[in-house]
Structure 1
Amino acid sequence: MKLKYEWRKQEKEIYLPKKTPQQINIPKYNYLILSGKGNPNSELFAQQTAALYAVSYHFRMDIKKGTLGGEPMEYVVYPLEGIWTTGDGSRGETLNKEALEYKLMIRQPSCITQENLQASLEKLARKKPNPHYEMLALKEYEEGSSVQMLHVGSYDDELDSFKKMDAYLEEHQLARMNIMDRYIHREIYLSDPRKVAPEKLKTVLRYQVEQEGGTDITN
């Protein structure tokens, strides 16, 4: 079967931005989501990420086979995303990774339902056990007005890119908003850190924004 959908080619504006900040509107999408706390370099984080990918690839195979009721279709699984804050208020150069709080997510086709999720979890629990399956949730989320840019380099060097985004917000009279219960920014991971050198990692950084003095547009 030929590849029918590749987000890198068909959604470049959303997933492959420039290396300078730009404003964009992000519509409502379907996400598989998992919440957690702690250092992203931990084994716990790796297990949680593995749970998200296991279900996402299970959905992909079901859709490719047409077992979910629609026409068979092949697509590339969307990249891992995370929205981040800290429980102790640390930021930037004083960031305490042990205090990080996050929601990890992978976007899913709009046809995926809660029933599909439950069926997938039951199958995977038998074939590929993971203690974090029960933490997964399927939710729609509309990010709306946002500012984003592509960061190339180590995750530890993201502060330089965030400074550029903050300057863009000030220049355009925009205010950064908390998203999804006070999480303050989103990261989309386009590279696999197990295979790509730190200085070559590609990550989309994104703020949800509003015009200064405007109305809250979060859902």
Structure 2
Amino acid sequence: MAFDFKKEYKEFYMPKNKPMIVTIPRANYIAVRGQGDPNEEGGAYQKAISVLYAVAYTLKMSYKTNYKIEGFFEYVVPPLEGFWWQDGIEGIDYDNKSTFNWISVIRLPDFITKKDFEWAVETASIKKKMDCSCAEFLTIEEGLCVQMMHIGPFDDEPVSVALMDKYLE
């Protein structure tokens, strides 16, 4: 059975629908940075997501190629995660999504090295006929965080963010 991050790390990937404190450990990710409205049809965010998944699935399916990753075991590609902010404002202006900055990420299993990542970027670019060079190997240690499950459209996220802010107080 394939390793599943959502099942093995439920506290990070299956949070409750109310705010809670978690400590997110150091981990490696495939990351793409950008700016703009995530809802823009054919925009930078949608292109970034395509790159993330192209590289993620190239790594996941590497065992079916001649490229061998040391310590590889089958796994489920972890869920998409992201960091969002706007420069020069307090909080978030959800009515002005064109000013969003973001880093979207997909967690990598610990056995994936930067060398493996670079192979996957090059292979995905060729196989998918798309430029994946904007992807980066990023190590993040988030540490102490507040999180909760948001269910519903992105436009309704301010309610969840407000609940987390209140919990922090």
Q: TM-score, normalised by structure 1?
A: 0.70
- Shift in Å at residue 72 of structure 1? 4.8
- Shift in Å at residue 67 of structure 1? 4.0
What is the CA–CA distance in structure 2 between the aligned matches of 1:52 and 1:10, rounded to whole Å? 22
What is the CA–CA distance in structure 2 between the aligned matches of 1:5 and 1:111, rounded to whole Å? 13
5 Å-filtered alignment, 1:32-43, equals 32-42=30-40, 43=42
5 Å-filtered alignment, 1:186-205, equals none
1:162 match? 161
What is the CA–CA distance in structure 1 between the aligned matches of 2:3 and 2:68, rounded to whole Å? 17
- Shift in Å at residue 125 of structure 1? 2.1
Asked if 1:6 is matched to 2:22, the reply is no
Asked if 1:75 is matched to 2:75, the reply is yes
1:49 match? 49
Give the share of equivalent positions with the same residue, in percent.
35
Ranked by relative contact order (alpha carbons within 8 Å, sequence separation 6 or more), the top structure is: 2
2:111 match? 111
CA distance 1:19–1:66, shift in 2 (3 Å): farther
1:177 match? none
SS of residue matched to 1:152: coil
What is the CA–CA distance in structure 2 between the aligned matches of 1:100 and 1:148, rounded to whole Å? 20
What is the CA–CA distance in structure 1 between the aligned matches of 2:146 and 2:79, rounded to whole Å? 19
Kindly indicate whether the alpha-carbon contact (under 8 Å) linking 1:81 and 1:104 is maintained by their aligned counterparts in 2. Answer: yes
Return 5+ residue gaps in structure 1 as ranges.
171-219
How many residues end up aligned between the 2 structures?
167
1:142 match? 141
Q: Single out whichever of 141-150 and 6-15 deviates more from structure 2.
A: 6-15
Q: TM-score, normalised by structure 2?
A: 0.89
Say which of 9, 15, 18 aligns to 1:17: 15
SS of residue matched to 2:166: helix
CA offsets 1:137-165 (integer angstroms, 9 cap, x no match): 10211111011111111111111111111
CA distance 1:66–1:22, shift in 2 (3 Å): farther
| Greater strand proportion | 1
